[in-house]
Structure 1
Amino acid sequence: MKAAFELAQRDGAAGLTMRRLGEELKVDATTLYRLFRDRDELLLAVHDHATAVELEEIGEVPDSEHWQDTLRRIADRIWATAVRSPAIAALTFARTTGGPAERRMVELILETFARSGLSREATVRYYRVFADATLGLAGQVAVLATLAPEIQAKDAASWTRIHAHLPDPSIRRPAPRSRS
């Protein structure tokens, strides 16, 4: 996993092939097919490895830590993974690995929301919102980071060129008072 992770970081997700990984490990690529059915299964395993690294970085959650602080640390680690491994994150942020690290992360987030005092039903809903928002934002930064620098600059400039001249959105304006 470590070699596959490093290969994807160095050469991008397109560089993560069974042949290239075999070359890195100095083994025949057919050996890897005994471990992984195909490249997609390898990619999901790499993503689960990245989640395991996130869990290591989060470490133990002290009983005294406020549940919101735990969620912030989880979100920070997911974001950090997207920034340091954009090629992997861009391809996998919306995927389900089913691996052991992903299961541990899901349990950690659910346990964290449960510490807030939410009902079981609300815990599941808030988990989903947290996961979708965190992974979606991390995925967005990862996808943008995989673009060529000139495309990134063009995209950043378009925000200033297009959106800076638009009027304030109506959400910022106070609603008119009704006359009762």
Structure 2
Amino acid sequence: MPKRPVSEAERRRRRPTRGGAVLSHRLILDTALRMLHEHGSAGLTARRLGTALGADPSALYRYFRGMDDLILAIADDLMGRAADGWQGTGAWRDDLRDLGLRVHAAYLAHPQAAVLTAGRVSGRPHETAADETILGILRTAGFPDPDAVAVYQAFIDQALAFAALDAATLALPAAAREADHAVWGATYARLPARTHPHIAATAGLLVARMNRSAYPTALEMFLDSAEGRLTRARAAAAQVPPGRRP
């Protein structure tokens, strides 16, 4: 016989932990995010999380089915942070830009968690709400459904891919990150024009740009492409005789 679902109220620990806190879904998520920030993914285990919470590790399983369930909850939480307080303007391009930058920023605020979760699909409320919002923006703007789905996929994958890439840099030890940044000025800027004419010609620009995220630029390129797709779809629809439209 399947187990009866346990409500949040029933799951709550009835007495405080050794640290004086009462366990909750939110407290566990926040503590896990802090541990990821301090120790990376290797440091997030049920035993260490229980110690940080002042509770027996087995208590965590009253809230999450396992550590992977917790990871999926963190992924959904990051998406919720991105959408928190967002309001659309009705201008599809502006709204997508704002959402993309919000997703990118929310993940970079927790780089260790971003590296761990950017490639996951949780199917949970914040994620599905964000997907519904994005598809709604596109369909309301007039993208035909096949185009809306294609643009949605490219949009969210681009945002998460750049979040993972940029978060991986932020998650590096400070010395390694600084050494990587220095390569553009120490190596690329000194390559001779005789052997590397194109790098030498653009060295100053490379040094100025390459240690900053390319996501805002890539996002504008993506939006230009999506706008072109919408223009072509509208032109194609205008050429179909009204009586023959589906």
Please classify the TM superposition score into its range, dividing by the shorter chain length.
0.7 to 0.9
Alignment match, 2:90: 65
> Aligned pair in 2 of structure 1 residues 78, 164: CA closer, same or farther (>3 Å)?
farther
How far residue 163 of structure 1 moved from its aligned partner, in angstroms, is 7.7
Residue 15 (structure 1) aligned with residue 43 (structure 2): yes
| More displaced 10-residue stretch of structure 1: 148-157 or 2-11 | 2-11
Report the more deviating stretch, 10-19 or 39-48.
10-19
Structure 1: runs of 5+ lacking an equivalent? 170-180
Q: Does 1:157 align with 2:185?
A: no
Partner residue of 1:177?
A: none
Instruction: Spell out, residue by residue over 1:6-56, the C-alpha distance to the aligned partner (whole angstroms, 9 max, x if none).
Output: 333344333322222223333211111233232222111111111112121
For structure 2, the 5+ residue unaligned runs are: 1-28, 200-246
Residue 176 of structure 1 aligns with which residue?
none
1:84-123 aligned at under 5 Å gives the runs: 84-123=109-148
Higher RCO (CA-CA < 8 Å; seq separation 6+): 1
1:13-92 aligned within 5 A: 13-58=41-86, 60-61=87-88, 64-92=89-117
Distance 1:12 1:122, change over 3 A: same
Deviation of 1:90 (Å): 0.9
Query: Structure 1 residues 118 and 4, CA, compared in 2 at 3 Å: closer, same or farther?
Result: same
Compute the RMSD of aligned alpha carbons: 2.1
1:85-120: CA deviations, max 9, x gaps?
Answer: 000001111111121111111111111111221100
Q: For 2:197 and 2:147, locate their aligned partners in 1 and report how far apart those are by CA, in whole Å.
A: 37
Instruction: Read off the aligned partner of 1:65 and give its amino acid letter.
Output: G
Q: Distance in 1 between matches of 2:197 and 2:92?
A: 38
Partner of 2:75: helix, strand, or coil? Answer: helix
TM-score (norm 1): 0.81
- Which amino acid in 1 is paired with 2:81? V
Secondary structure of the equivalent of 1:96?
coil
Q: 1:124 aligns with which of 149, 159, 182?
A: 149
CA contact (8 A) 1:94 1:135 kept: yes
- The Cα of 1:167 is off from its aligned counterpart by 4.0
Q: Distance in 1 between matches of 2:157 and 2:176?
A: 26
Distance 1:79-1:121 versus aligned 2 partners, 3 A rule = same
Whole-Å separation in 1 of the counterparts to 2:189 and 2:137:
38
Per the TM alignment, residue 72 of structure 1 is displaced from its structure 2 partner at its CA by: 1.3
